[in-house]
Structure 1
Amino acid sequence: MSRSRSDSPRSVVTDRVFWIGLAAIAVGLAVFVLLFNYAIMPIWTRHDATVAVPDVREMEPAEAERSLLLSGLEGTYDEQPYNPNVAPDIVVEQSPVAGTQVKPGRRIYYYVNVSPKELVPVPRVVSLSEGTARTEIEEAGLAVGRVEMDTVRTPYENTVTRQEPGEERQVPIGTRLTLWISPGVDNSREVTVPNVVGVSATEARDRLRSVGLFVDSPRAEGGEVVRQEPERGERLNPGEEVRIYTE
């Protein structure tokens, strides 16, 4: 009787190799799953990894930052209002507190008792161009923070209409000012100049600004308005200037 090809020695060997290979793949997959679950995943997620927050109180900010970095943590600096009963320019508080167990990379906030800075007066930059205002602010030891477009119009585009903090306020060196700048004159329409003679300088400014006209006249502060230019009844574009004079 002849033997079928499936029963030949070569076929038996091929089947055995197939099943051995399949078993090896299954074992390999099982080993990979075990390694992934119990070795790779914990490392990747740092599931069980924690570090103790170091105590950075009474350190200088640079030293505190270095200590946190060496512990695998991130530091965020913030200033506290100056307390004369505590040494200046050192960390006085931190959050979380020292010894807390946290994940690596956690952000730690530390608060510094910053010594008072020299105070300087804020210059008046209203009515100046933005560029000139920046120069005067920087020469005073201050800086420009935000610059925003205002709805108040002036005779010239990009002139300063408002400032914060206001002029002559005493502020620490390095303080950032917010400036508002003008979009310029609105040539699409006209308004009538109101009469402001006989009223206070403050009321005169309010009346003129309410119709969209610009008034600077920094010397007209007290008393009543005795003269205005242009006079009442004239037609101007919003943003054009009316000057007022007081006694």
Structure 2
Amino acid sequence: MNCMPMNPVRWLLQKPFWVNLLAVCMLVVLLGVLFFASLRWITRHGETATVPDIMGKPYDEAVRLLEQAHFRVVVQDSGYTDTLPPLTVLRQEPEAHAVVKVYRTVYLTLNKIVPPMAVMPNLVNMSYRSAVLTLQTLKLNVGDTVYKPDIARNAVLAQLYNGQPIKPGILIPEGSRITLVLGDGIGNQANPVPNLIGLTFMQARELLSASNLSVGVVLFDGPITDTASAYVYKQIPAPLNANGQPNLIYAGQSIDLWVSQTPRDSTGQPLPQPNF
């Protein structure tokens, strides 16, 4: 007697057709039940979680909070805000407190480590409002405002960065604070016009600055090899009026100067040079 086990395939083939069909159907049903039973577990259907608020938090802390809430994390982009430290979360998607499926990916935008650079504009002679708008457009900030006597009220007289004058075109980090020196208008106190005749142009400018006055129009008589050492021989307004009384001037006003390379009298005639 042959005790060899029968091949299952041969056994199925030996059965009637309806038996084979029934076996196949039962196998399909069993696989379907197993698939749909595991589908809910695979897709986490119906399982949701609330996205935590990680705006303004450091990257490491944001990742920890998201992973604890069963979310994945992907850094999608970067931006820059000067008021936040580097690698701080600027934006998140989905937004905070949104209810979404667990294990969803949350996309982050982080603050850059190195700030972008901006080109320093020329703000001199702009109004204060125009200067502020210009700085905001370039993502720069207004720092201190310093007022100086000048006829141009609220006009920018100088621009400073870290306490030093800064020229237009210099590259500085976005978010830098620019100090604006503004004119506060003509002063209320009138003072005698200083006598600048015979001073060098540099001395005259320093005296005017100390008196809260400014240099107006400068007219040169003859060739000038060194402006700083050129001599003032005429000024308007003059120190004295036609009656010999002192002329008065307000802080913030300017004085026009006539200068030459060599000393001259008030009519423009050269003064005699001493013989040694």
Q: What is the TM-score of this pair, normalised by structure 1?
A: 0.45
- Say which structure is richer in helix: 1
- Say which structure is richer in strand: 2
Q: What is the TM-score of this pair, normalised by structure 2?
A: 0.41
